[in-house]
Amino acid sequence: MQLDCKTPKPGIEAACLSDVGLQRTDNEDSYLYWEPDSDEDFRRKGRLAIVADGMGGYEGGQEASRLAVETVRHIYDRQPAGDPRASLLAAFQTAHDNILRYAFEHPEFHGMGTTCTALAIVGRKLYFAHVGDSRLYRVHDGAISRLTRDHSYVGRLVENGIVRSEDAESHPQRHILTAALGSGHDIVPDVPEQPIELENNDVLILCTDGLWSLVAEQDLSRLAQAQPVADGCMKLVRMALERGGPDNITVQLLRVSSD
């Protein structure tokens, strides 16, 4: 377990933590927290945070999640400022294409793919794009809400009223994805039309299913509000490990603070 704490520009407290878990030998998750170097670019582009959970075997899953994170950051940085939503869409499409190309050029990685959930915060406005079953939560005034929906077989059953949402986390087929970067010819990320206005002390939780499948929302909310955010990351990952840790576990916490 290695805690990665970046010191961001004023306005956000951020911490990231990833752990291989107790039943796997390799970590196929990737993550990133990024800010432009110049103050001018920062004002225009804001902050970017990403989690990705690779699939397709050890090297295939690692490569897919790495490619997704690196491509989304690169394309978001290169896109013209002023429309974070369009920048995230372009970044996801390019990441999807890059993973498909890599798998074509390396047939041994056929079937590689990855979930990807990325958020951008420009000023106090939250934008995000999402494919797969990693998740983004917001804790506001002590109440937690999930901002993403799972692109999975079980997620579809929940949306159709066949499976109760409280049973989805433990469903034996919850890991079957219906969409992922690098899977299929076309990709349609979930990207809300309008940004969300953030407020002081809001906490954003980005995590892979190695965390949310073991830690209930009330525990996510309670531990994510720990001070400092690095302690929240440690407590959340520790809880997942105490409950068996069968998968890789990755979490990022971002708390909105006064500028």
pLDDT of 238 reads 97
Between 34 and 7, name the one with better pLDDT. Answer: 34
Q: Find the range with the poorest average confidence among 32-46, 91-105, 117-131, 140-154.
A: 140-154
Supply the mean pLDDT for the chain. Answer: 91
pLDDT at 246 over 70: yes
Is pTM, for the whole model, over 0.85?
yes
Q: Find the range with the poorest average confidence among 44-48, 155-159, 173-177.
A: 155-159
Between 35 and 169, name the one with better pLDDT. Answer: 35
pLDDT of 229 reads 95
Read off the pLDDT of residues 27-84 as tens digits, 9 standing for 90 and up: 999 999 999 999 999 999 999 999 999 998 768 999 999 999 999 999 999 998 789 9
pLDDT at 152 over 90: no
DSSP state letters, the chain? -EEE---PPTTEEEEEEEE--SS-SS--EEEEEE--SSHHHHHHH-EEEEEEEEESSHHHHHHHHHHHHHHHHHHHHHSPTT-HHHHHHHHHHHHHHHHHHHHHH-GGGTT-EE-EEEEEEETTEEEEEEESS-EEEEEETTEEEE-S---BHHHHHHHTTSS-HHHHTT-TTTT-BS--BTSSS----B--SSPEEP-TT-EEEEE-HHHHTTS-HHHHHHHHT-SSHHHHHHHHHHHHHHTT--S-EEEEEEEE---
Decide: 57 and 114 in contact? Cβ < 8 Å: no
Per the structure block, which two tokens stand in for 149? Answer: 């929906």
Read off the pLDDT of residues 12-30 as tens digits, 9 standing for 90 and up: 999 999 999 999 999 999 9
pLDDT of 172 reads 56
Domains for the chain: give ranges and CATH numbers.
Answer: 2-192+200-256 (3.60.40.10)
